[in-house]
Structure 1
Amino acid sequence: MVKDKTGEEIQQIWKQYFATKDTVYAVIPAETFDLIWSRAQKCPSFLCALPRREGYEFFVGQWSGPELHFTALINIQTRGEAASSQLILYHFPELKEEKGIVLMTAEMDSTFLKVPEAQCIANQVQLFYATDRQETYGLVETFNLRPNEFKYMSVIAELEQSGLAAELRPSQQPDTA
């Protein structure tokens, strides 16, 4: 169906389709996805911080093929392997070579996350995995390769410096208690 379309036309179709949906979606340039993917192979999990009224809530992201599953750290701590994902980012690399894009959409537990919160988590994938700053990606490496040296506060500091945390002002956040 999209074989005769350009990457830009497919991007427009993808955006138009999801514009009316209550979900997270993206069109990722091939070069950006290649960087994320190569780093995900070396470091398949990471911790994201979601601003809440009272501080931050941490989510662990774990790559499983082109899917990226996020689970609240508290759920992992209390439920272990039985903890379910609150957010799954699905990446579709089928158009990467020919059209230069990777399509992404999400499935989320709307009882646990709202779309702006899921978007904040999704944005952190690019922040930490597609960055040019070695210090930022270094947090991912430390989390995976030297977990005893990992500092949770460094994720929050990086998130605040990026401006992503400011997108979820406390006055806009729903109560989750």
Structure 2
Amino acid sequence: MPASKRDQLLATAERLFYEQGFHATGIDRIVAAAGVVRMTLYNHFASKEALVAAVLQARHERFLASLEAAMAAAAPGQATLALVDAHGDWLERYSRHGCIMAKAMGEFAEHSAEIHAMAAGAKADLLARLEAAVARDGLDHQAGLARRLFLALEGSNTAVALLGPETALADTRALAETLIATARGVTP
């Protein structure tokens, strides 16, 4: 089934925003790459900012769905590591050059409180999923564990571009295993 024009615009804009930056990517570049006319874009999105918001929302929903699926399929006591692995899989497949939400926070900090808040909210959602996974694994008694894991995952968002996915993700998983083992009172 062919993608709708709206979906085509979202996919094209997401790719270009991620590769080239939000502010560096103009509407003309997006419509040309999507193979539509400018009016088609404005029939679906009131402004470039509305397009950015839609791109971030759609990407975030896909990301959360991947985390939720991994946690749901995890064996008892393994939800946290399943989430860490799902985050790593996402980075390897879709974010080899860093996190689009972090990019949005940087580019929109001074330009759009709404977009900045949306991207920051996505980060808060990741932390909330980590808190849920830690609780599901019975580790919520360990104050700050979810936050420390969050910092490790956020670090991998940057490290993947520098160290490559294999090294960055292996090191992130090893760190997560150590944090979890320590929380369980097991010497790693």
Say whether the fold is shared (TM-score over 0.5).
no
Q: Per residue, is there more strand in 1 or in 2?
A: 1
TM-score (norm 2): 0.27
TM-score (norm 1): 0.28
Considering only CA atoms, is the larger Rg found in Structure 1 or Structure 2? 2
Q: Per residue, is there more helix in 1 or in 2?
A: 2
